[in-house]
Structures are given as C-alpha cells and as structure tokens.
C-alpha cells in the first residue's frame, strides 16, 4: 500500500498499523501522487488550540474511508509523552478508517506493540485504576473484552513481581544455539544444524570465557541473580557431560544463592534422556520446558520434527520421575497440517498430563523459515482464532491463570502468545523479560543482554552473534562488549 504522511514523520507507527489492518499489503512510503487505482493511505496530523488531530484517508480496492482521532493539547507535555500520544491517535485514525472499509476488527484493536501487559501496567503506575485501564483498552484501543482481561492479568503479575525487585536484581540467560534438526517455522538456528554439531566443544570453550568475564562484572557491581534461564536452540542437544561442564562453570563463576528459578529449555523430546535430567536436577534446575508444539504425529512430521507423540509422553514421564518443581509445555496454534479440531485434541492431551505451565503460542511467520520460504499452507486466521478461543476457555476453566503475554510481528491473525500457569508456578524470567522489570544479562549464541534502569525507564541492549561459528570467531568482541554493563550501571542506576 502506498502511504503518504502529511505534517509528521511517524513512519513506524503508520507502518505497524497498516500491517495490522492489511497484513497482505507491503507498506511503501511516497510523497505522492499515487497512480489511480493503487491502494493508498494518507495520514495527516494537525494542531489546534485545544487538540492535536490525526486524520487517515484510505483508498483501497476502489473504496474510500476516513478515520480521525484527537488528543488534548494540554496532554502533549514533554517530548516523550507527545510522541506517545501522537502515535496513538495516528494509529487510532488509521484503525477507524480501516474498520469502516473492511469491517474487520483485530482482537487487539489498534494496539500494535509487542507488550500489551506493560502498557497496561504503565497506565496503572501512572495512577489509573484497573477499571479505568479496562475502559481505555476497550474504548480507546478497541481491544476485545477477553484480550483486555488477559492484558490486565499480565499487567498485575508484572506489577506484583516488580514489588519484590531491587535495582541489584537481575535475571540471567544462556543461549545454546544447537538443535537436532531445524523446525519448519524456525528462523533461529543455522540451516545446517546437523553439520554444526562439531562446533559444540569450541562453542562451550568460548561460552566459558564469556561466563567468566560476565561474572566478574556482576560481582564488581554487586548484582544479584534471581533467575537463570537456559534457552536456545535446545540446550539439551548437549550431552550429559557437556551439560555438567556448563552448569559447573556457571556455579563456579556466579553467586547463585539468591536464585529462585533455574530453568532449562529441554524443548525437543528427542534430546531428553534420564542422564541429562539427573544432571540438571543435581545442579538445581527446578523448571524445565518440554515443548511438543503439537501432539499430532502428522503435524510433527510437517514441521520437521524427527520424534513422535510417544517420545513426548516418554520425556514427560522421565521428567516426572526425576522430579522438577515446574514443567512447562509449549504449544503452537496455526501449524501446517493442523486444524482447529487437531489443536483441540493436542491441548486436551497436554492438559491430561497436568504440567504446571502451558504456553500457547500463535504461529509467527518468520522471514527465513521454511514455511515462509516454501509458502507452506497453514490454517487460516479463523481456524487459529478457534484454536485460541478453545485454549482460553479450557485453560481458564481448569484453573490455569494467564501470567505473561506478548505479540510478535507477522503472527497469524495478529493474535498473541500466552503463558498459563497453575497459581504460584509463574516463571520469574518470562514475566521479567516481557514486562522489562530488570536487566537480563545474557551469554551465549543469539543472546541479547537487556539493561534496564527502572527509575528512568531507560533500556539498552548488547547483542551477541547468532550462529555458533560467528559466536566462536567473535568471542573477543563479545567479551569486550560486556564492559558496557559497567558503563550503563554507572550512568543510569544508583546502586
């Protein structure tokens, strides 16, 4: 769609709402004029004495519609608040015009951000009551009622955790970028996953260097580790000796006494065996994630998994035998070869196992994934909506509570990912990272450190290399980049 901005430069806001309302159209900014018959949107901003007003004119498939929204001029106080409000009305005006034109109302309304829970939490922290936030989400942003409630629950879980945190508290992440095969929806690990296995040993050597250097900084600053999350990839691709070596390195370098959560992604059931689980247990891992994504053998095959549903059940039984406080299971709504009925059966089977956490993702179409590259057919938005409706009803009916949620780009139907937990088994790391409550000090392949200054809201990131060979080759740079943690804490946080 051709997009023209008049009297403002909020390109990103316009692009985001265009992709939400017309996901099949690629945004293309122009100064005009637009040739007749081409789909286009003109988004203008004007300032009066009392209000700033955004107006969107859409011309799509020969039909036109106008939408507008305004913000009180007195609320455009500082630069940050003005930007926020002006972007909000720009999106609202576009949303209103698009609804008139298409009749389509996405479940998240005109909200385009990936952290709706954080938005609601911010409103409450600024003094709005829960009822006022609910009204704002429903009326201003046109979020549907059930999503509004999810958003409030996630916001409340975040605010509750925030109360227990000080500026010294951090979460840690270790990224292990290896998997036995590559899933069809994944853009993360290298395409030659099998071949990269010979890099495991040099990768561990490099990671040990990064762990030692990072731990020295954490000690110097007096930071306190509350949670350690090992993700990837699939960390359990490492054998039991390699896992033991890695856990030992972490324990030797970091003070982990204040840590209440030690989570390992044991995502692929075909990487789990009793020895590895016992090593994890012996090193204090208390939450593991076994991620079936689906319980259908046909769908597992379609997404490039080499294991079956029986392997998932075996892995779950082994984990129960070894005994972890929390087992999480991830599912994805919208996978190739799946259907609403198939997803319902998957959820029922997973719920019958009664894991403490169940995370329901919506398929996100990643650029480099096989599904996107090969144009693999996937369930349509209506089917995905039915799958999610079923999960909302079944999980809340069984006493699970939604404790964190996030959205991603290019998600089927513009839906969301929701983490559900039995009360009291919420994951610290998942809430902390989604609500941006504390710094996440990250090490390993594909890891990104996020430095958070609670008082000012300032956030900065340090990115590690993604693929094993890049990580190994770039370890000197990766280790030196960690020094920035000291600069950030020196400037932004009063410890």
**Closer CB to ligand SF4, residue 414 or residue 445?**
445
Q: Cis omega (within 30 of 0) on the bond before 127?
A: no
Contacting range for ligand SF4; rule: CB under 6 A; set: 50-58, 227-235, 272-280, 360-368: 227-235
Instruction: Give me the residues paired with residue 263 across strands.
Output: 229, 287
**Closer CB to ligand SF4, residue 106 or residue 232?**
232
Contacting range for ligand SF4; rule: CB under 6 A; set: 129-137, 197-205, 230-238, 319-327: 230-238
**Closer CB to ligand SF4, residue 369 or residue 391?**
369
> CB of residue 85 vs ligand SF4: minimum separation in angstroms?
38
**Closer CB to ligand SF4, residue 232 or residue 292?**
232
Give how far Cα 79 sits from Cα of 44, 124, 127, Å.
Answer: 19, 21, 20
State the angle between helix axes of 484-492 and 200-221 in degrees (0 to 180), rounded to the nearest 10.
30
**Closer CB to ligand SF4, residue 178 or residue 343?**
178
**Closer CB to ligand SF4, residue 196 or residue 225?**
196
Angle at 157 between CA 156 and CA 162, to 5 degrees: 95
> CB of residue 271 vs ligand SF4: minimum separation in angstroms?
9
Residue from 106, 109, 158, 233 touching ligand SF4 (CB under 6 A): that is: 233
Residue from 96, 182, 244, 370 touching ligand SF4 (CB under 6 A): that is: 182
**Closer CB to ligand SF4, residue 433 or residue 437?**
433
**Closer CB to ligand SF4, residue 86 or residue 300?**
300
**Closer CB to ligand SF4, residue 179 or residue 465?**
179
Cα-to-chain-centroid distance, residue 483: 26
Do 395 and 420 touch, CB atoms closer than 8 A? yes
Residue that is written with structure tokens 């005006």 in the block: 93
Residue from 19, 57, 186, 440 touching ligand SF4 (CB under 6 A): that is: 186
> CB of residue 297 vs ligand SF4: minimum separation in angstroms?
17
Contacting range for ligand SF4; rule: CB under 6 A; set: 15-23, 136-144, 178-186, 345-353: 178-186
Q: Cis omega (within 30 of 0) on the bond before 460?
A: no
Nearest of 322, 253, 250 to residue 288 by alpha carbon: 322
Give how far Cα 173 sits from Cα of 230, 278, 445, 450, 484, Å.
Answer: 6, 21, 10, 10, 17
- For ligand SF4 (CB under 6 A), the number of binding residues is 11
HSE (side-chain half, CA atoms, 13 Å) at 464: 34
Do 483 and 220 touch, CB atoms closer than 8 A? no
Using CB under 6 A as the binding rule, whether residue 234 contacts ligand SF4 is answered as yes
Do 287 and 325 touch, CB atoms closer than 8 A? yes
Residue from 3, 5, 40, 189 touching ligand SF4 (CB under 6 A): that is: 189
Q: Which residues contact 148 (CB under 8 A, 6 or more apart)?
A: 134, 137, 138
> CB of residue 115 vs ligand SF4: minimum separation in angstroms?
22
**Closer CB to ligand SF4, residue 144 or residue 273?**
273
Residue from 141, 188, 203, 324 touching ligand SF4 (CB under 6 A): that is: 188
From residue 249 to residue 268, the character string flagging contacts with ligand SF4 as x (rule: CB under 6 A) and all else as - is ------------------xx
Using CB under 6 A as the binding rule, whether residue 183 contacts ligand SF4 is answered as yes
Using CB under 6 A as the binding rule, whether residue 179 contacts ligand SF4 is answered as yes
Do 314 and 268 touch, CB atoms closer than 8 A? no
Nearest of 371, 12, 60 to residue 186 by alpha carbon: 371
Do 398 and 7 touch, CB atoms closer than 8 A? no
Q: How far apart are CA 93 and CA 86, in angstroms?
A: 11
Contacting range for ligand SF4; rule: CB under 6 A; set: 62-70, 184-192, 217-225, 407-415: 184-192
Do 56 and 101 touch, CB atoms closer than 8 A? no
Give the binding site for ligand SF4 (CB under 6 A).
Answer: 179, 182-183, 186, 188-189, 232-234, 267-268
């Amino acid at each position: 769609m051709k997009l023209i901005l008049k009297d403002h430069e909020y390109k990103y806001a316009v692009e985001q709402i265009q992709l939400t309302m017309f996901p099949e159209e690629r945004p293309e900014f122009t100064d005009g004029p637009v040739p007749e018959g081409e789909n286009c949107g003109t988004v203008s901003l004007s300032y009066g004495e009392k209000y700033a007003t955004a107006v969107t004119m859409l011309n799509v498939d020969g039909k036109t519609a106008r939408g507008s929204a305004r913000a009180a001029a007195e609320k455009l106080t500082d630069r940050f608040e003005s930007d926020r409000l002006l972007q909000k009305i720009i999106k609202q005006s576009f949303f209103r015009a698009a609804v008139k034109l298409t009749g389509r109302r996405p479940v998240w309304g005109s909200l385009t951000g990936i952290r709706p829970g954080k938005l609601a939490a911010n409103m409450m922290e600024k003094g709005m009551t829960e009822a006022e936030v609910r009204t704002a989400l429903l009326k201003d942003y046109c979020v549907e009622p059930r999503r509004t409630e999810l958003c409030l629950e996630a916001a409340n879980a975040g605010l509750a955790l925030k109360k227990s945190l000080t500026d010294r508290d951090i979460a840690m992440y270790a990224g292990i970028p290896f998997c036995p095969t590559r899933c069809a929806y994944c853009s993360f690990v290298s395409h030659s996953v099998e071949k990269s296995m010979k890099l495991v040993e040099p990768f561990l050597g490099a990671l040990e260097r990064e762990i030692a250097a990072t731990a020295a900084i954490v000690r110097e600053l007096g930071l306190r580790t509350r949670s350690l999350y090992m993700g990837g990839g699939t960390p359990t691709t490492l054998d039991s000796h390699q896992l033991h070596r890695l856990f030992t390195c972490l324990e030797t370098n970091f003070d982990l006494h204040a840590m209440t959560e030690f989570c390992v992604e044991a995502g692929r059931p075909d990487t789990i065996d009793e020895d590895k689980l016992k090593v994890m247990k012996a090193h204090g891992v208390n939450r593991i994630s076994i991620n079936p994504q689906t319980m259908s053998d046909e769908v597992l095959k379609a997404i490039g998994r080499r294991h079956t549903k029986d392997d998932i059940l075996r892995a779950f039984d082994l984990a129960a035998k070894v005994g972890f406080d929390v087992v999480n299971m991830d599912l994805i709504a919208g996978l190739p070869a799946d259907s609403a009925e198939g997803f319902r059966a998957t959820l029922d089977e997973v719920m019958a196992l009664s894991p403490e956490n169940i995370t329901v993702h919506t398929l996100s179409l990643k650029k480099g994934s096989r599904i996107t590259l090969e144009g693999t057919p996937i369930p349509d938005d209506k089917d995905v909506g039915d799958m999610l409706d079923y999960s909302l009803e079944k999980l809340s009916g069984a006493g699970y509570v939604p404790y964190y949620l996030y959205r991603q780009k290019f998600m089927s139907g513009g839906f969301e990912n929701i983490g559900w937990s039995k009360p009291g088994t919420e994951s610290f790391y998942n809430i902390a990272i989604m609500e941006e409550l504390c710094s996440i000090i990250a090490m390993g392949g594909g890891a990104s450190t996020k430095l958070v200054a609670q008082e000012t809201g300032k956030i900065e990131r340090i990115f590690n290399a993604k693929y094993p060979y890049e990580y190994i080759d770039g370890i000197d740079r990766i280790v030196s980049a960690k020094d920035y943690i000291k600069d950030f804490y020196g400037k932004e946080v009063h410890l």
